[in-house]
Amino acid sequence: MTLEEAAPPKYFFGSLLSAAVLLAALLYRPLGTAAMGALCVLVLAALDISQGSAYDPHIVGSLVTLLVVAGLVTLLSVARERTVRQLTQVRAVAQAAQLALLRPLPERIGPVRVAGFYRAADDEALIGGDLYSVRQTPYGVRVLVGDVRGKGIGATGTVATIMASFREAAVTCEDLAEVAGRIEMAMALDREDATPPGGAGPPGDGALPQDTGPDDELFATAVLMEFPGDAEEVRVLDRGHPPLLRLAPDGATPLTATPGLPLGLGDLSEGTERAEGFPMPVGDMLVAYSDGVTEARGRDGAFYPLRQRLNDHFCRPADEPGGSGGSGCFEGRGTVPAEIVTFLQDDVARWAPTIGDDMVVVVLRRLPSADSPGPPGTPEPTATY
């Protein structure tokens, strides 16, 4: 408006008001955009009247153009607001559905203290193809950590099947092998229920992509653990998953159980599988993880050395920088699962700024008994997403 008043009559700057309307659409909601459009129209009309050029064809054309631009921009703002609202609702529903699958870990369950973190390969997803579950059962605390073939959102259907089956089987089946068998059955039913090639898709309006048929390569590596309440041991059933790491005063060492075939491929196995028992003294910890952690590549292409990094950080003498300050590994500072998780989460992020696979880490520490207080220190967080 100042330019219009100061410039010679042959110069016309009123058209710049259209830019103000367009800018308002980026900054304001529909009502604010409409108000800015109306204000710009009134300003331009006032300028024309004050300069005595209200009936100039060029000025009238500019005024009409501004009216049209203001109207269209307001309509676009309404459409944008509706789209944003719909996307927000869809995202909220998706987050609720994903969190229903992988619920936050309890800080403590029975004689076990727990912490963990989860990182999906898809930036916009909360979960992917990795999974975990911790359940209190009549047979002790049972834990499942697994990795479905595939990654990201595309693997969540199988994750849902495995999680639902484990939550039911963990409290009804007496043996971990039976639990694994129930999960296998659920996965087999999923394959049978898949739409055959050329079959009709789900009902709906318009054409939908057809299913390609049962997935003969549907499987998941997994490790199942059981912490009995009356014994200082852990029972492990390995279904093709990376070996657990035991964290004890002598350092981080693999706890190697006899590996079986992944879940979903059990019908190819000969013989009967059984869970194996390992001593689990009070204070020792187990780290369960997916291969997304150990296969995270650094800038030089090297894989993340999980065991080495744990030993390097938590087994340093007290007089070294960053040392644990204890006589043995994982003893200084009263090391707790949350401390291990925090270190690993930060260390993996530094090692591999970008990831190509989902990651899960669950750390479990054996406590003296189900009714004894946990170790002193700050409360531990639940799972981190």
Asked whether the predicted pLDDT for residue 202 surpasses 80, the reply is: no
Q: What is the mean pLDDT of residues 180-207?
A: 69
Instruction: Give the global pTM.
Output: 0.71
Cβ(12)–Cβ(27) under 8 Å?
Answer: no
Amino acid at 42: L
Q: Which residue in 324, 307, 305 sits closest to 315, CA to CA? A: 324
The pLDDT score that the predictor gives to residue 137 is 94
| Ranges 10-19, 60-69, 335-344, most confident | 335-344
Q: What is the pLDDT of residues 293-345, one digit of tens each?
A: 999 999 898 999 999 999 998 886 544 554 444 456 776 445 789 999 999 99
Q: Which residue in 120, 130, 121 sits closest to 223, CA to CA? A: 130
Confidence of residue 48 (pLDDT cuts 50, 70, 90): low
The pLDDT score that the predictor gives to residue 176 is 95
* Domains, in order of start, for the chain: 2-92 (no CATH), 102-195+214-366 (3.60.40.10)
- Annotate the chain with three-state secondary structure: CHHHHHCCCCCCCCCHHHHHHHHHHHHCCHHHHHHHHHHHHHHHHHHHHHCCCCCCHHHHHHHHHHHHHHHHHHHHHHHHHHHHHHHHHHHHHHHHHHHHHCCCCCCEECCEEEEEEEECCCCCCCCCCEEEEEEEECCEEEEEEEEECCCHHHHHHHHHHHHHHHHHHHHHCCCHHHHHHHHHHHHHHHHHHCCCCCCCCCCCCCCCCCCCCCCCCCCEEEEEEEECCCCCEEEEEEEECCCEEEEECCEEEEECCCECCCECCHHHCCCCCCCEEEECCCCCEEEEECHHHHCCECCCCCECCHHHHHHHHHCCCCCCCCCCCCCCCCCHHHCCHHHHHHHHHHHHHHHCCCCCCCEEEEEEEECCCCCCCCCCCCCCCCCEC
Give the residue, 151 or 159, on which the prediction is more confident: 159
